[in-house]
Chain A
Amino acid sequence: MSTRTAAPTSPVTISTRVDKVGRRPKVMRGIRAFAVIVITIIALLPVVWMIMTSLKSPSDVVAVPPKIIFKPSIESFIFLVTERVQFASPQEAAEYKARDDLKWYEEKVAQRGQKITRVGDFPKQLRNSFIIAGTSTIFSVLFGVLSAYAFSRFKIPGEGDLLFFILSTRMLPPVAVTIPIFLMYRELGLDNTYFGLILLYTTFNLSFSVWLLKGFIDEIPKEYEEAALVDGYTRLQAFRKVVLPQAVTGIAATTVFCFIFAWNEYAFAAMLTSDATRTAPPSIPSIQGVGRIEWETIAAASLVFLIPVVIVTFALRKHLLRGVTFGAIRKG
């Protein structure tokens, strides 16, 4: 079973094994790359389909068979940000269309036999998502970095148990915790308030934040602070002037992860919010159209909602592994 690789046609100037030059390994590499490209396309197809749907006109959306090529329209985005009613009668429609003070989007909607009554709920829901996810993230990271520092640098009695307890809170099914919290909030008048949801999300992300940040802070050599302590700075100053600047990457990654988790959260929001504070995730699946399911509107809402997440995925790509494993696995 002597295997002689044919001498390569061009000189080898990379580090590689003798049996990995030549034609066969090259062909294999090509096949692998091709397979990965095909899989990537399949993996992204649903998202692409969603984008396509969001750009379809109402009739194209329900076309049978599904249309791959269509005339793009931005109606869905108008639908998304408006509340509309059907014209009560043909006369009303005719009168409305005859008016000459109609804005371009009003005309577009009128062509579908509808009249815009007010701004829709989605912008408000998106804003709620931002406020709640943003504020809770700040608190999660703030408390998280403090605890993570303490756990990383000091011997704390029962440290292992405490850390395990912190992690275990994250394992709880949200539904199990929500029932009592719902009752608690009702007693305290916190249900359906920003504060209530922010408090809940802060806690929900706190365990994650502590674990992830502890990993990052563990990586900062202790000697930096010890040098600062020897130079006469207090612990607190050393923490502020030495540890925090060094942990910036970790803090940024943690912040983004916490934000995404809060941004995507559905269960708590579905159970604890209604109109005024409702966030986007529970709203999008239940978008009601006028007289039909407006798939293009749902797709448009999903698109708007998912764009930040996709951007962030790219920004975070180096830290994804750490994030999804609570900092347990760093880099292979």
Chain B
Amino acid sequence: MATIELVNVEKKFGASFAVKPMNMTIYNGEFVVLLGPSGCGKTTTLRMISGLEAVTDGQILFDGKEVTWLHPSDRDIAFVFQFFALYSHMTARENIAFPLQAQGESKENIRKRVEEVAKMLRIEHLLSARPGGLSGGDQQRVALARALVRRPAAFLMDEPLGALDAEFRESMRAEIKRLHIEQNATTVYVTHDQIEAMAMGDRVVVMSAAVVQQNGTPAEVYHDPANLFVAKFIGSPGMNLIRGHYADGKVALPGDSYYAVPTDWQAAIHEVIGRAGDVILGFRPEAAHISENGPIATTVYTSDLHGSYTMLHLELNRDTIVDVRAGRGTSYPIGTPARFDLDPAMVRFFDPKTEAAIHKGGNQ
């Protein structure tokens, strides 16, 4: 098992940054998810950790030892690829045995280890099949077995579920999580799927535009997004963000509503934007509740029924629509007026100039 440290690691393609200088520590046994839209640098980061991509500058350390220029095979890692990377002319058994053969393990030992991981992943019956004859889920199980069989210090996974059907994805997600708990191996997992990231990670590192936007637990990135990007990217739909004018403890919102800022927020807001100025109010759909006396007046734009709840799209004015979660009991015809209030513990504020979150406990 290993602790992985990235010190000022950066990657340039030509003159443009694929990953801007970043610092990150992945602790022993942690499951860290690198999350972000495509092209954000998450895969490049993972590949730099593995050595499949050479860094432009900076250092990578495994357990305090520098490995920046070490060959991938000497880093004691296993890599799981999106497209499985199984050798199509070898059986599943041969594929799994392959890394051990390359290390020169004894035949007996190889057989034992292969059976072991096959049992763990419940693929014993598939061992003599070739990858071409297996389903996507089973191919990825074989690929996982190949990674596990070496007992590496760290697992690096590049969108391992990206090539699978939705139904396989759900069950494989659980399997990988379970494997991680059993093995307790340091795992770095790349995905663009925020639901997957939230479900699997001990820690989620949100990246965008070659920069780490936030590094925190799933609860932190969900409830306390560091900036507008994270607020919008995490959650489906993302956080509602309404720009308004703050003055005298109130935010003037589009559509002539006023929202009274909870008193414990006011100091922080003053500190960042002063006594008066533009601010962005953020809240998750479940932080709002429809209420006749609610301070925010809207009309119903549309509503969609989601099994256990209704998602309302409410119009403050022509340019501002927010998503609000409501019980499925009541119906909300299009065009009817609706007012809502916000749970004061679940509102957040952002500085429109820097796009960064305003923190209640003080901003620095």
Contacts and interface: CB of A to CB of B under 8 A. Distances in A.
A18 interface: yes
B54 A21 contact: yes
Given A12-B54, A12-B55, A13-B56, A18 B12 contact: no
A18 B71 contact: yes
Contacts of A7: 68-69
A6 B55 CA distance: 13
A232 interface: no
A17 interface: yes
Interface string B27-56: 000000000000000000000000111111
B71 A3 contact: yes
Counting chain A CB atoms within 10 Å of each CB, which of B14, B52, B71 scores highest? B71
A2 B68 CA distance: 13
Nearest to B10: A11
Contacts of B54: 8, 12, 16-18, 20-21
A4 interface: yes
Contacts of B15: 13
Contact of A13 (B14, B68, B71): B14
Chain A contact residues: helix, strand, loop or mixed: loop
A3 B12 contact: no
A13 B15 CA distance: 8
Contacts, number: 55
Interface in B240-257: none
A5 B13 CA distance: 20
Given A2-B70, A6-B69, A19-B71, A14 B52 contact: no
Contacts of B55: 12
Contacts of A17: 51-54, 72
Contacts of B69: 4-7, 18, 22
A15 B71 contact: no
B57 interface: yes
A6 B69 CA distance: 7
Contacts of B14: 13-14
A21 B54 CA distance: 8
Contacts of B73: 3
Nearest to A13: B12
Nearest to A16: B54
A17 B68 CA distance: 11
Contacts of A21: 54
Contact of B51 (A11, A12, A19): A19
Interface string A93-117: 0000000000000000000000000
Contacts of B56: 11-13
Nearest to B18: A15
A8 B72 CA distance: 16
B173 to A, nearest CB: 29
Contacts of B53: 15-18
B71 A11 contact: no
A104 to B, nearest CB: 57
A15 B13 contact: yes
A17 B50 CA distance: 9
Nearest to B69: A5
A236 B51 CA distance: 56
A30 B72 CA distance: 24
B74 interface: yes
Contacts of B72: 17-19
B189 to A, nearest CB: 21
Contacts of A4: 69-71, 74
Nearest to B44: A15
22 contacts: A1-B74, A2-B70, A4-B69, A7-B68, A7-B69, A11-B57, A12-B56, A14-B14, A16-B53, A16-B54, A17-B51, A17-B52, A17-B54, A17-B72, A18-B53, A18-B54, A18-B70, A18-B71, A18-B72, A19-B71, A19-B72, A22-B69
Given A5-B70, A13-B15, A17-B54, 6 more contacts: A4-B74, A8-B54, A12-B55, A12-B56, A14-B13, A20-B54
